[in-house]
Structure 1
Amino acid sequence: MFLSLPPAPPLAGLVQAYWFVQDLPGDFAGQAIRTSPIPLAVLSVNMGRPNATRDGALVPRVSMLGLQSRVREWRSWSETCFMMAMLTVPGVLRLFPHVQAGGADCLADLGALAGDAAAASLAGCVDAQAGPVRIAAQIDRWLLARLDRARCVPEGMRVAAAHAVLRAGGRVEQAAQAAQTDRRQLQRWFHRHLGVGPKEMADLERLHRSLRDVQSGRGDPLAGFSDQAHQIRNWRRRLGVTPGSYARGGGSALAAQFRPDAGTPGPAFYL
C-alpha cells in the first residue's frame, strides 16, 4: 500500500504530505529502493519491521532525514510499514529549529536531534494497529503540540523568505535582499538551520522541479536551467543519469505509485 494524505490545515505550509508505505507481504523485499535529492526533510515513524540502509544498518523507530542532496538507497523487507511526514523548509524552521546544522543527507534517530522525550512521545502517540487516516491525525496532534511549544528562531522568517525566492527560481543575491541581509550571513543561516547553503538549495529546487516534470510528463523539465547542457550536467551530478535515459527507462514501481501528477500530487522522491 502506498498512500499520500494531507496534514491538518494549520500544518499545510509546514508539512507537504504524510506518505504511508506498507509492504507486509514483502513484494519489494530485498529490492534496492532509491530516492532522489529533494528540498524537503523527512520525519519517519517505523511501525513495522525496520528497513536497512545501504550499509546494512537498521533504520531507527523514529528518525529524521535532513534535506537530501544526493541519491539514497535502502532495502525493504517483508512486514515493512512506516509513515513519512514530508517537511517543507518553513516546517523545518518552525518545528525543528537548530537541529539541521550538518544534517543534510543524514538519517538520524530523532532522539539524538530533538531529545529522547520528544522521540518517545512521538513513538508513543502512534497506534500501529490504526489505519492511515487515524495515524495521520495522531501525527497531526503531535506536530501541532510541538508547534505550540517551539520558539521561533529570530531569523527564521527571513530564511523562509529567502527560500521562497530560490524556490521560485530567483538568484542568491535576490534571496539575500528578501532576507534583508548579505550573502555571507545568508550562507551562515542556511547552513545553521537547513544544512545546505542557498546556492545548493537553489540547485535542489531546480533539479526537483525537473525530475517532477519528467516523471509526470507535464511542465518544462528545462525550466530554471540556462540550457539543456546545464540540465544534463545537473542530472548526471545529482542522479547519475541523463533526463533522456531516465524518461526512456521509466521509474521504479514506487515512483509510479507516487507519480506527481494531478491524481496524486506530491514531490518527486522515488526514482
Structure 2
Amino acid sequence: MYVELPPSPDLAPFIKCFWLFDNNSGADLNYTTLPDGCLELLVFYQHGLLKSISVFGIQSEAYDILMPAHELKIGIRLRPLAKEYYLDKCTTLDRFADFTKTLSLQHFSELVSADIRAMSPAIDNRKQLLFDLLQKHAGNIEVESLATQCFWSSRQINRYFNKQLGLSLKSYCNILKCYASYKEIKAGDLNPDTGFYDQSHFIREIKKHTGTTPKKLLKNEAQRYVQFNSPEDV
C-alpha cells in the first residue's frame, strides 16, 4: 500500500508531499526510485516498532530500495529550501519513536507541520523566487536569467547550491529536466520537445540519471520504478 498526502499551502515551499509505504504482502519487495530534485526523510518501522531514521540529500542517480516484509516506511519528500529552513534546525527526529502504536500518515504530517511552523521560518525572497522559477521551467532556464529575475548574482546562486545542497545548479537543472520527462515517457512519448538538444542527448541524460533507457522505463518490468507505478502524474 502506497499513499501520499499533500502539505498545507503554507508549507508547500518546504514539502512536496508526505507518504506512507506499507509492505503487508508477507514477502520482501524490491523497487528503484528515480531522481526527482527532492530531499527525503524516511522513518522505518518493522512490526510496529521504530527501526531507523534516514535523511537523504538530492539524488542524481537511481537507487534501489529493499522493502522487507511487514515493514512500514513513512517519509517526507522535501523541497530544497527545507534543507536550510527545516532539516538544519530539525527537532522532529527525536519524536518519531512515539509512532510505535499509531502509525498514521495524518498524525505524522501534523507533527512535522507543527514543528516547521514553530520555527517560523522567514524565507529569503531571492531563494523562494529562485526555486519557483526552476520548478516553473523544469530546470530549462539559463543561470543569467535566474540571476536577473532574482536579483542575485550567478556566482552567489552557484555558491548557494554547492554549500546547501552539495551539487551545482547545472546538475540540479538536469535532474529537473529528466524528472519532467518522466510524465511524457509514462505516456509513451519518447521524443520530448524541450530541455534536450536532440534525441541522443535525451537518451544520454536519462540513462545517466536513471541507469536505463526511456524505452525500459516505459516498459517498467515487474513495476520496478516507483515513479512509474502510481496512477497519478509523476
TM-score, L = length of structure 1: 0.72
- Superposition map of 1:173-188 within 5 A: 173-188=144-159
Deviation at 1:196, TM superposition (A): 1.5
The answer to whether 1:136 aligns with 2:109 is: yes
SS of match in other structure, 2:201: helix
DSSP 3-state at the match of 1:13:
coil
1:161 CA drift (Å): 2.2
State the 1:255 CA deviation: 4.2
CA shift for structure 1 position 42: 1.0
Post-superposition shift, 1:26? 3.0
1:26 & 1:77 partners in 2: Cα distance?
8
CA separation of 1:10 and 1:258: change in aligned 2, threshold 3 A = same
Matched, 1:244 2:215: yes
Letter in structure 2 aligned against 1:90: L
Cα-to-partner distance string for 1:41-65 (whole Å, 9 max, x where unaligned)? 1122223269xxxxxxxx9722211
Report % sequence identity: 20
Q: CA deviation at 1:92?
A: 3.2
CA–CA distance in structure 1, aligned partners of residues 14 and 188 of structure 2: 27
Q: Please give the alpha-carbon distance, in whole angstroms, between the structure 1 residues aligned to 2:163 and 2:69.
A: 38
Q: 1:120 aligns with which of 79, 86, 94?
A: 94
* Contact residue 213 and residue 221 of structure 1 kept, 8 A: yes
Q: Give secondary structure in 1 for the equivalent of 2:194.
A: coil
1:165/1:131 CA distance change after superposition, 3 Å? closer
Tell me if structure 1 keeps the 8 A contact 2:42–2:73: yes
Q: 2:134 aligns with which of 157, 166, 175?
A: 166
Task: Specify every segment of 5 or more residues in structure 1 that has no aligned partner in the other structure, as ranges.
Answer: 51-58, 100-113, 262-266
Q: Is the 8 A contact 2:32 2:225 kept in 1?
A: no
2: CA distance between counterparts of 1:214 and 1:200?
Answer: 21
Assess if the C-alpha contact under 8 Å between 2:33 and 2:226 holds in 1. Answer: no
Equivalence for 2:204: 233
1:210 lines up with 2:181 in the alignment: yes
What is the CA distance between 1:170 and its match in structure 2? Answer: 1.1
Structure 1 residues 26 and 206: alpha-carbon distance in aligned structure 2, compared to 1, 3 A threshold: same
Match of 2:52 in 1: 61
Distance 1:220 1:13 in 2: 31
SS of alignment partner, residue 176 of structure 1: helix
Superposed CA deviations along residues 50-99 of structure 1, whole A, max 9, x for unmatched, are 9xxxxxxxx97222111111111231111210111111123334323xx4
1:3 is paired with a residue of what secondary structure? strand
Structure 1 residue 233 displacement after superposition: 1.1
Q: Distance between the aligned counterparts of 2:79 and 2:190, measured in 1?
A: 22
Q: What letter matches 1:85 in structure 2?
A: I
Amino acid at match of 2:134: L
Runs of 4+ in 1 over 3 A off after TM superposition: 90-93, 124-128, 216-222, 248-251, 253-257
TM-score with structure 2 length normalisation? Answer: 0.82
Q: Name which of structure 1's ranges 234-243 and 246-255 shifts more when overlaid on structure 2.
A: 246-255
Distance 2:167 2:130 in 1: 13
Q: Distance in 2 between matches of 1:226 and 1:124?
A: 49
Q: How does 1:1-271 map to 2 (within 5 A)?
A: 1-27=1-27, 29=28, 31-48=29-46, 61-96=52-87, 99=88, 118-121=92-95, 123-124=96-97, 126=99, 128-145=101-118, 147-148=119-120, 150=121, 152=123, 156-167=124-135, 168=137, 169-217=140-188, 221-250=192-221, 251-252=223-224, 254-261=226-233, 267=234
Aligned length: 229
Give the Cα–Cα distance (whole angstroms) in 1 for the partners of residues 232 and 59 of structure 2: 18
**Secondary structure of the structure 2 residue equivalent to 1:47:** strand
